[in-house]
């Protein structure tokens, strides 16, 4: 069986000098992982924004903080 055929069933490790340096996954698995991490990032950004707002941080205050930081 060709390695590219095997990746359709399960991830295939890519070894270099006896060390795992990469993993091939199916395009479907890759898309699911990409979507999972994109959703997690969106939730984190939303949660951080909500927390900052609850603590009184406004866009104006943030702009001032960023301007004074440089």
Question: Considering the entire predicted model, what is its pTM?
Answer: 0.63
Cα dihedral angle (35, 36, 38, 41), rounded to 10 degrees?
A: 170
Q: What are the phi and psi torsion angles at 22 (to 5°)?
A: -170, 170
What are the mean pLDDT values of the chain's consecutive 10-residue runs (70 residues total)?
Answer: 65 96 95 98 98 94 87
Domain count, the chain: 1
According to DSSP, the residues that pair with 46 across neighbouring strands are: none
Range of the domain at 44: 3-69
Asked if 7 and 26 touch (Cβ cutoff 8 Å), the reply is: yes
Output the pLDDT for position 4. Answer: 61
Alpha carbon distance 44, 42 (integer Å): 5
Output the pLDDT for position 9. Answer: 76
In tens, the pLDDT along 52-68 reads 999 999 999 999 999 98
């Amino acid at each position: 069986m060709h390695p590219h055929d095997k990746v359709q069933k399960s991830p295939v490790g890519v070894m270099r000098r006896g060390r795992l340096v990469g993993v091939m996954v199916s395009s479907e698995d890759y898309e699911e992982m990409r979507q999972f991490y994109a959703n997690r990032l969106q939730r984190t950004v939303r949660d951080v924004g909500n927390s900052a707002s609850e603590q009184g941080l406004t866009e104006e205050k943030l702009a001032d903080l960023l301007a004074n930081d440089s």
